[in-house]
Amino acid sequence: MKFGLFLELSVSRPATPEAEARVFRHSVQDAVLADKLGFDHVWVVEHHFLAEYSHSGAPEVLLGALATATKQIRLGHGVVVCVPEINHPVRVAERIAVLDILSDGRVDFGTGRSSTWTELGGFYGDPDTTKQSWSEYVETIPRMWNSPLFSHQGVTFSIPERQILPRPIQLPHPPMWVAVSSPGTEIDAAERGLGWLGVNFSGYDALAVRIEKYRAIQAELELDPAFRRQNNTVYTVNFLYCHEDADYAAERGGRLATEFQYLADQNLHTREVVVTPAYPTLGGIPTIAQRDAGSEKSKGVPEGACVGTPDQIVETIERWQSIGVDGINFIINSAECLDAEEARRSINLFAEKVAPRLKPGVVTLAGA
């Protein structure tokens, strides 16, 4: 079982320059601590125009800082929005390669296509073509890195013959992932040999069925090893609050989960503004009105959250492991709803009393 941090860079209103700077500073400090504690990944998301929920509009810049501030932890650039109006594929290939060089081969490349009209519409992107553009990106970018000269005449973008430079250290390319939220995306991932980067919160039973299908497809997959590196790893996202007192952990962890869900709920309606078959309906997610009316789905600690005592969290993670999950990316704070030092005490206790029971090589920094 592997563990990572998932950095959303949420900033509560009013988002003053001081508040934004504090969130970025704390995110760097959290990543450095996770590196010292032996965590495997730190992922930095890409979002645009989503006030409060995520101010991570230039993740490559933050990842560049982390490349020099950390030593061993892998740096997840994800997910990169694979839409030409937002990120040209050549520019994506270039910056992933630079990050891989600066980090001495520690970059993971997460892909996606955005999920809200707020973001796509802000760049005049067409929601009906994002699945096509994403597919073209994941097929062509590895070839940019492994071809002496590259050209492409495609559906959503075209490139005349050029040498794409620089090239990443990892061969044939850094591990590739896709953000999996809507049912069916795991099939797209499996058919292309991409890792499953879970970005929403699912219960055990629903996820187990999807993982089984994903693994079955991956087992039959054949990729050209000169250009493509298969990744059949399943990561989920989760909340982390670890404390010796179970009731206290539930209260503080519940606050973290509720704050994050509150911020995420504000973006739900923007998924429904432009009706398109490219994005399934969000019928299974409670609306803001349901939440305000007391929907239990959006309050407190969700099923399978890594919130509780060390023993409780070990039991929870073992349950995830039993259904085929290989790794968990943790959200340890949201819009600074917890004191930064409190969040670090939680992660340090996790490294001291949870991680060693599930994987070797994790060390603890007393008092960190």
Q: Give Cα separations from 178 to 87, 117, 254 (angstroms).
A: 16, 20, 28
Classify residue 23: in a domain, yes or no. yes
Give the lowest-confidence range in 22-36, 105-119, 281-295.
281-295
Residue 91 — very low, low, confident or very high, per pLDDT cuts 50/70/90? very high
Classify residue 175: in a domain, yes or no. yes
Mean pLDDT in residue range 90-117: 96
Taking the C-alpha atoms of residue 207 and residue 303, their distance in angstroms, rounded to an integer, is 12
What's the number of domains the chain is made of? 1
For residues 363 and 4, the model is more confident at 4
Classify residue 72: in a domain, yes or no. yes
Classify residue 365: in a domain, yes or no. no
Q: What is the pLDDT of residue 291?
A: 46
180 class by beta-carbon count within 10 Å (0-12 exposed, 13-18 middle, 19+ buried): buried
User: Is residue 46 scored above 90 in pLDDT?
Assistant: yes
User: Is residue 293 scored above 80 in pLDDT?
Assistant: no
Taking the C-alpha atoms of residue 324 and residue 130, their distance in angstroms, rounded to an integer, is 29
Classify residue 41: in a domain, yes or no. yes
**What's the CATH code of the domain at 297?**
3.20.20.30
Instruction: Establish whether the linkage from the previous residue to 172 is cis, with ω within 30° of 0.
Output: yes
**Of 120, 149, 121, which is closest to residue 134 (Cα–Cα)?**
120
Mean of all residue pLDDT scores within the chain? 90
| Biggest CA-to-CA distance, the chain | 62
Mean pLDDT in residue range 134-153: 97
Taking the C-alpha atoms of residue 297 and residue 305, their distance in angstroms, rounded to an integer, is 13
| 245 neighbors 208 (Cβ within 8 angstroms) | no
Classify residue 35: in a domain, yes or no. yes
| 295 neighbors 286 (Cβ within 8 angstroms) | yes
Classify residue 364: in a domain, yes or no. no
Residue 12: HSE in the Cβ half-sphere, 13 Å Cα cutoff? 9
Buried b (16+ CB within 10 A) or exposed e, 69-90: ebeebbbbbbbbbbbbbbbebb
Q: What is the pLDDT of residue 269?
A: 63
pLDDT in tens, 232-291: 999 999 999 999 999 999 999 999 999 998 888 777 666 555 656 666 654 444 444 444
What is the identity of the amino acid at 222?
E
User: Is residue 99 scored above 60 in pLDDT?
Assistant: yes
Structural domain boundaries enclosing 81: 2-358
C-alpha 326, offset from chain centre: 14
Classify residue 68: in a domain, yes or no. yes
